[in-house]
Structure 1
Amino acid sequence: MEILESIILILSLLIIANIVSHYFVSIPPSLLQIAAGILAALFMHVKIYVDTEWFLLAFIAPILFNDGNNFPKRELWKLKGPILGNAIVLVVISTLVGGVFVKWLIPTLPWATAFTLVAVLSPTDPIAVQSIAKKAHIPDKLMHLISGESLINDASGLICFKYGVAATVTGMFSLKDATIDFFHISIVGALVGAVMIWIFNGVRLYLMNQGVDDSILHAIIQIIIPFIIYYVAEDIFDVSGVVAVVIAGILNISSNRNLSSFTPEIKMVTSRTWDLVVYVLNGIVFVLLGIEIPFAMEELVHNDNINTIGALFLAFIIWIMLVVIRAAWSYVYSTFSKNGDNKIVLWSKSRLDDCLMSGISGVRGAVTMVGVLSLPMTIKGGAPFPSRTLLLFLASAVIIFSLLGATILIPLLTKNSAPVAYRGNTFVSDEDDDEDDDEDVPVIVKLTQAEANRVILDKTIKKLRGEMDDGDTAVYSSVIGEYLQDLRNLSIRNHNPKMASHQISKRRVKSKKDAELWDICFNCELEAIEELYVNHEISDDAYDIANRKIAKYKKDIVHRRYNSTVEFFLSYFRRTYLQIRRWFYRSVKYDDIKQLNQDSIKISTAGAKRALAKLQELSQSDNEGFADNLIYIFQRHYEDRLELLQGKYRGRTPQFSGDRAALEVKALSYQRAFVQDMLEQGKISKATANELRQNINYSEEVINIGTD
């Protein structure tokens, strides 16, 4: 009963704090949550004891998994050097230098405890500055760096924190054993996270393949994934659950709107569910922090060695130290890192300003608070954990100082201002269109939902094709191609729901016409390969590999030997193997591999061009053997291949993405108008119209999520 009462009380305090934050937008919500906890402790005498193991499982696992899931992966690769430097080297330097400094400041603090404090202060929280990035004009590169390092330094900082706690509790520490153990638990933990998320991804994709598309079910699966992975890594394999959930989050099938395997409803519900979970967990952490502060202050008041004012001054000095270390590291790294002209400039005022902003932007947040609240009460032998209340007070004060520093100083440095939010505080509630709940008017129902959906898609395609000449052809072609695939899949689903898919596939042919068209395209690719080989443009090995690959595709089209379940998992294993091989090839630069890759690009490009020419010929002829939509879909397949090979697909500009999103929203507005027309004409019932509108709303919400 006490646990239930505590949960209700904390959630109530969280709700009150966030309601107040809407009226005082200049005050960060996290500070109001801390204040709510302080008031509850002072006037309601609330005291909550936290168990280390379940606290880490309940808060660390979902928060870090969500961070990994939303990780800017492209920016990680571009800024891999400074990100890894900040996330690993800077954490180690901060822990060592900061630990010595804290020991000098507080001589009575044990060495292991001093290092433990600085280690738990290492993880940064990028969400605290993301909300002011646009208005305050923080450079994009700096924001990407902060976002990238935060995820990895959460793991490295907490691992260092773990060793500090272990040394304090046991009184023993071996650098050699710690180094070996660090690499063991990190590498094996990463493998555990990668393997388990691969299994979960496969299960989710298989459920979708079998028609199990319950959005609530998929959201629940997503929520329990980090808890299971963290538990398995920590309790079964005895490795780092932090690293495991971080890697799992990065490799997880996210709610990205471009991921066509899941319906818009699943992606929207999953995304909003995660927003809610992180919002609540983050708020609980800061409310608990507020509850703990008065008790820490009370013990400090009765401490002869240090008082509350002195502890606040120490926390301020520690925050300044962390800012200086971070800014100095950024300046040294940026000075000696590679630049365009290969010149080293030791002094630069603009670089100093950027590095100072980087230091101030290293705001401490939820992960730091989760770590410090998980400090054990006792050490080996039953004695109290040394200076636990002091560590809790100093960590919470440093968090507050870093938050206030970012809130006040960053706008001054950038000549602008805006409110600050923490992880989870960027939640935006849905604004669903409320339909009038009038009594149904008897109408003559002529179309089912599936039939009406087909009509709407067909009208939308015609409308977009009519506008195509007046707009960006590439953008319109991309959106029209996606609608044609949806239209085709809708037709397939009516005959065999398990065969529905958003893309054509060489390995999974859905109809006889598909097989015939694939055979024509494959013959074109074989002609292109032969021409390249005759002209001595490709090697013998590349020629043999390409011919064998296409021969296998053609054989699989004629002889389908597996049922749908076996076929799905074989395809899933094959995709995984190819992905791993691509990663391996990127890291191993042998001349023969490079030559094969170059020849493969030539072969794929020539084959795609030859197939496109044939498809264009078929589309312009009077051949009634193939539907126009099917030919168009095949054309889009080969056009996408060419874009990928020519580097256009991955490098699509933000302008293209923005124009495409705008056109998608415009197309959805057409669909709403078509739904209203059919409703007024009596072709569909009001219930069907509401279902169609709801699906359109889901699609629009997914687009908005993708552009946030």
Structure 2
Amino acid sequence: MEILESIILILSLLIIANIVSHYFVSIPPSLLQIAAGILAALFMHVKIYVDTEWFLLAFIAPILFNDGNNFPKRELWKLKGPILGNAIVLVIISTLVGGVFVKWLIPSLPWATAFTLVAVLSPTDPIAVQSIAKKAHIPDKLMHLISGESLINDASGLICFKYGVAATVTGMFSLKDATIDFFHISIVGALVGAVMIWIFNGIRLYLMNQGVDDSILHAIIQIIIPFIIYYVAEDIFDVSGVVAVVIAGILNISTNHNLSSFTPEIRLVTSRTWNLVVYVLNGIVFVLLGIEIPFAMEELVHNDKINTFYATFLAFLIWVMLVVVRAAWSYIYATFSNNEDNKIDWLSKTRLHDCLMSGISGVRGAVTMVGVLSLPLTIKGGSPFPSRTLLLFLASAVIIFSLLGATLLIPLLTKNSAPVAYRGNTFSSDEDELDDDDEDESPTPVVLTQAEANRLILDKTIKKLRAEMDDGDVGVYSSVIAEYLYDIRNLSIQNNNPKLASHQISKRRVKGKKDAELWDICFNCELEAIEKLYANDEISTESYEIALRKIAKYKKEIVHRRYSPSIEFFLSYFRRTYLQIKRWIYRSVKYDDIKQLNQDSIKISAAGAKKALAKLQELNHSEHDEFTDNLIYIFQRHYEDRLELLQGKYRGRSPEFNGKRMALEVKALSYQRAFVQDMLEQGKISKGTANELRQNINYSEEVMNIGAE
């Protein structure tokens, strides 16, 4: 009963603090949450004891998984050098320098405890400055660096913290053993996270393949993933659950190209559910921080014999030291990393300004609080943990100083101001509500079902886009039209077998007689291209034989399906995983070596695609039904995308292309809304069907907005 009462109380304090924050927008919500906790501790005498393992599992796992899930992978790879430098080297330097500094400030503090304090202060919280990044002139590169650093140093900092606590508790520390153990628990933890998220990704994709598209079910699966991975890593394999959930978040399919496998409703519900979970978890952490501060002060005065004001001054000095170390490291790293002409420019006002901003932007937040609250009460032998209340007070005060510093100083450095958000807090406009007015529900002559109306709307949208194609970017229009043709094709297939619908055509899974006929025609074209290349001695005998075997295998699978749909799915999933791992390995090889190894394969693929496109173009001018016309268009886009990829012109990976495509998709959705309204006014659909169609359109638009954020 006490646990339930504590949860209700903390959530109530969180709600009150967040309501107040809407009236005092200049005050960070996290500071108000801390204040609510302080008031509850002072006037309601609330005190909550937190179990270490439970607390780490309940808060660390979902927070870090969500951070890894949302971080842009392209920027993570681009800035891997400075991110790893800040997340690992800076953490070590800060721990060593900071430990010595803290020991100098507080001579009575044991060395292991001093290093433990600085280690728990090393994780940064980038969300504290993200909300002002657009209005204030914070460089995008700096924002990505802070975010990527936070993602990794949460893991490295907490591992260092774990060793500091272990050294304090046991009184023993071996650098050799700690280093070996560090790499063991990190590498194996990463493998556990990668393997488990691969399993969960496969389960979710298989459920979609089987037609299980319940949005609530998929959201629950997503939420439970980090808890299971953290538990398995820590309790079964005895490795770092922190590293496991970070890697799992990065590799989670919800942020890559496999998103097309999930409906807009699933993506929207999952995203909003995660926002709610992270919002509540971070709020609870700061409320708990506020609850702990008064008791830390009280015990500090009675037990540690250090004046409270002096302890506050010590916390301020520790924060200043962390800012200086971070800014100095950033300045030195930037000086040498920008040394393109072997000329070192030691003095740069712009660089100094950016590095000072980087130092102040290193805000400590939820993860630091989670770590310091997990400090054990006793050490080996049953004695109290050395100066635990002092560490708790200093860490809490440093968090507050870092929050205040970012709130007050960053707007001054950027000569602008905006409200500051924190992990789980976002500023977005209210969503448009559906018009659920059920008044005047007079019966209307309904002609079309929802599926029939959806098909008609897609047809009209395609015609509208094709009419505009000549005046716009043909590649962008073709890409969007192809997606709508996929949807129409799936609607037709679903009438016979709903489980076969997907947003792609596949050589390994033919879904109809017309698919098989077109694939057979295309394969014959590819065989002609292969024969011509071999006759002209442009490819080796080995490459020629491999290509023939591959085409023969595809042709055989078209005629005779040997496996059930489930077995086909898992074989395809294993194959995609193998190819992905192979691509990652190839990233460490020089491009020239890759090109040499795959030269024949590239020639064969390009020649086959050109030959198939020429044949499809010829078929496109002949007489055939509308469904075949759409299918030919889809096949053309398939081979065009292959050519663009082989020629290094894959527009789907271009930010400019994606921006134009998103704008066109929004425009197409506006056309769909207009068509829904026309059909409703004409009496072709009921009001309920119109609302369902509008809801699907809203889901699609909201998912695009989430991606843009």
TM over 0.5: yes
Counterpart of 1:704 in structure 2: which amino acid?
Answer: N
CA contact (8 A) 2:335 2:345 kept: yes
Matches within 5 A, 1:199-598: 199-254=199-254, 259-303=259-303, 305-337=305-337, 339-426=339-426, 428=428, 430-438=431-439, 440-589=441-590, 593-598=594-599
Offset at residue 552 of structure 1 (A): 1.9
Q: After superposition, what is the alpha-carbon deviation per residue over 1:558-584, rounded to whole angstroms, capped at 9, x for unaligned?
A: 221001111111111111111111112
Paired residue secondary structure (1:302): helix
The corresponding residue for 1:101 is 101
The separation in 2 between residues aligned to 1:591 and 1:253, in whole angstroms, is 30
The separation in 2 between residues aligned to 1:177 and 1:257, in whole angstroms, is 41
The corresponding residue for 2:74 is 74
Task: Give the 3 Å change call, closer, same or farther, for CA 399–572 of structure 1 in structure 2.
Answer: same
CA contact (8 A) 2:327 2:359 kept: yes
Task: Give the 3 Å change call, closer, same or farther, for CA 625–405 of structure 1 in structure 2.
Answer: closer
CA contact (8 A) 1:257 1:702 kept: no
CA contact (8 A) 2:131 2:427 kept: no
Paired residue secondary structure (1:48): coil
CA contact (8 A) 1:255 1:268 kept: no
Q: After superposition, what is the alpha-carbon deviation per residue over 1:276-334, rounded to whole angstroms, capped at 9, x for unaligned?
A: 00000000000000010011111223346311111111111111111111111111112
Query: RMSD over aligned Cα, in angstroms?
Result: 1.8
Matches within 5 A, 1:570-649: 570-589=571-590, 593-622=594-623, 627-649=628-650
Task: Give the 3 Å change call, closer, same or farther, for CA 624–424 of structure 1 in structure 2.
Answer: closer
Paired residue secondary structure (1:147): helix
Q: After superposition, what is the alpha-carbon deviation per residue over 1:178-206, rounded to whole angstroms, capped at 9, x for unaligned?
A: 11111111111111111111111111111
The corresponding residue for 1:655 is 656
Counterpart of 1:178 in structure 2: which amino acid?
Answer: A
Q: After superposition, what is the alpha-carbon deviation per residue over 1:151-193, rounded to whole angstroms, capped at 9, x for unaligned?
A: 1111000000110111111111111111111111111111111
The separation in 1 between residues aligned to 2:630 and 2:342, in whole angstroms, is 54
Q: Does the alignment pair 1:132 with 2:138?
A: no
Q: After superposition, what is the alpha-carbon deviation per residue over 1:40-70, rounded to whole angstroms, capped at 9, x for unaligned?
A: 1111111111110100000000000001111
Counterpart of 2:563 in structure 1: which amino acid?
Answer: Y
Counterpart of 2:351 in structure 1: which amino acid?
Answer: R
Paired residue secondary structure (1:254): helix
Paired residue secondary structure (2:260): coil
Task: Give the 3 Å change call, closer, same or farther, for CA 244–155 of structure 1 in structure 2.
Answer: same
The corresponding residue for 1:15 is 15
The separation in 2 between residues aligned to 1:489 and 1:664, in whole angstroms, is 19
The corresponding residue for 2:54 is 54
Offset at residue 397 of structure 1 (A): 1.0
The separation in 2 between residues aligned to 1:537 and 1:136, in whole angstroms, is 57
CA contact (8 A) 2:233 2:239 kept: yes
CA contact (8 A) 1:256 1:706 kept: no
Counterpart of 1:254 in structure 2: which amino acid?
Answer: S
CA contact (8 A) 2:304 2:387 kept: no
Q: After superposition, what is the alpha-carbon deviation per residue over 1:244-292, rounded to whole angstroms, capped at 9, x for unaligned?
A: 1011111111156872100000000000000000000000000000010
CA contact (8 A) 2:652 2:658 kept: no
Task: Give the 3 Å change call, closer, same or farther, for CA 283–480 of structure 1 in structure 2.
Answer: same
Q: After superposition, what is the alpha-carbon deviation per residue over 1:657-699, rounded to whole angstroms, capped at 9, x for unaligned?
A: 2222222122111111211222222211222111111111111
Task: Give the 3 Å change call, closer, same or farther, for CA 474–651 of structure 1 in structure 2.
Answer: closer
| Range moving further from structure 2, 635-644 or 60-69 | 635-644
Paired residue secondary structure (2:510): coil
Q: Does the alignment pair 1:117 with 2:122?
A: no
The separation in 2 between residues aligned to 1:231 and 1:288, in whole angstroms, is 23
Offset at residue 102 of structure 1 (A): 0.8
Offset at residue 427 of structure 1 (A): 6.2
The separation in 1 between residues aligned to 2:245 and 2:170, in whole angstroms, is 27
The separation in 2 between residues aligned to 1:601 and 1:339, in whole angstroms, is 38
The corresponding residue for 2:182 is 182
The separation in 2 between residues aligned to 1:282 and 1:300, in whole angstroms, is 26
The separation in 2 between residues aligned to 1:542 and 1:112, in whole angstroms, is 62
The separation in 2 between residues aligned to 1:594 and 1:658, in whole angstroms, is 30
Matches within 5 A, 1:19-34: 19-34=19-34
CA contact (8 A) 2:186 2:239 kept: yes
The corresponding residue for 1:696 is 697
Paired residue secondary structure (2:261): coil
| Range moving further from structure 2, 368-377 or 679-688 | 679-688
Q: When the two structures are aligned, how many residues end up with a matched partner?
A: 708
The separation in 2 between residues aligned to 1:236 and 1:303, in whole angstroms, is 39
Paired residue secondary structure (1:138): coil
The separation in 2 between residues aligned to 1:574 and 1:6, in whole angstroms, is 49
The separation in 2 between residues aligned to 1:342 and 1:600, in whole angstroms, is 41
CA contact (8 A) 2:304 2:390 kept: no
Task: Give the 3 Å change call, closer, same or farther, for CA 179–323 of structure 1 in structure 2.
Answer: same
Task: Give the 3 Å change call, closer, same or farther, for CA 162–554 of structure 1 in structure 2.
Answer: same
Offset at residue 538 of structure 1 (A): 3.5
Offset at residue 626 of structure 1 (A): 7.0
Gaps of 5+ in 2: none
CA contact (8 A) 2:229 2:241 kept: yes
| Range moving further from structure 2, 618-627 or 506-515 | 618-627
CA contact (8 A) 1:255 1:270 kept: no
Offset at residue 347 of structure 1 (A): 2.4
The normalised TM-score by structure 2 is 0.97
The separation in 2 between residues aligned to 1:98 and 1:507, in whole angstroms, is 58
The separation in 1 between residues aligned to 2:23 and 2:103, in whole angstroms, is 42
The separation in 2 between residues aligned to 1:582 and 1:608, in whole angstroms, is 22
Identity of aligned residues (%): 88
Offset at residue 624 of structure 1 (A): 5.6
Offset at residue 39 of structure 1 (A): 0.9
Counterpart of 1:694 in structure 2: which amino acid?
Answer: Q
The separation in 1 between residues aligned to 2:542 and 2:313, in whole angstroms, is 70
Q: After superposition, what is the alpha-carbon deviation per residue over 1:319-353, rounded to whole angstroms, capped at 9, x for unaligned?
A: 11111111111111122225544433232222122
The normalised TM-score by structure 1 is 0.97
Offset at residue 588 of structure 1 (A): 4.1
Offset at residue 107 of structure 1 (A): 0.7
The corresponding residue for 1:44 is 44
The separation in 2 between residues aligned to 1:599 and 1:28, in whole angstroms, is 59
Counterpart of 2:485 in structure 1: which amino acid?
Answer: L
| Range moving further from structure 2, 587-596 or 181-190 | 587-596
Paired residue secondary structure (2:135): helix
Counterpart of 2:350 in structure 1: which amino acid?
Answer: S
Counterpart of 1:492 in structure 2: which amino acid?
Answer: I
Task: Give the 3 Å change call, closer, same or farther, for CA 592–346 of structure 1 in structure 2.
Answer: closer
| Range moving further from structure 2, 469-478 or 571-580 | 469-478
The corresponding residue for 2:162 is 162
The corresponding residue for 1:664 is 665
The separation in 2 between residues aligned to 1:578 and 1:695, in whole angstroms, is 34
The separation in 1 between residues aligned to 2:389 and 2:664, in whole angstroms, is 56
The separation in 1 between residues aligned to 2:133 and 2:97, in whole angstroms, is 30
The separation in 2 between residues aligned to 1:380 and 1:132, in whole angstroms, is 46
Task: Give the 3 Å change call, closer, same or farther, for CA 418–51 of structure 1 in structure 2.
Answer: same
Paired residue secondary structure (2:97): helix
CA contact (8 A) 1:255 1:271 kept: no
Task: Give the 3 Å change call, closer, same or farther, for CA 104–540 of structure 1 in structure 2.
Answer: farther
Gaps of 5+ in 1: none
Counterpart of 1:90 in structure 2: which amino acid?
Answer: L
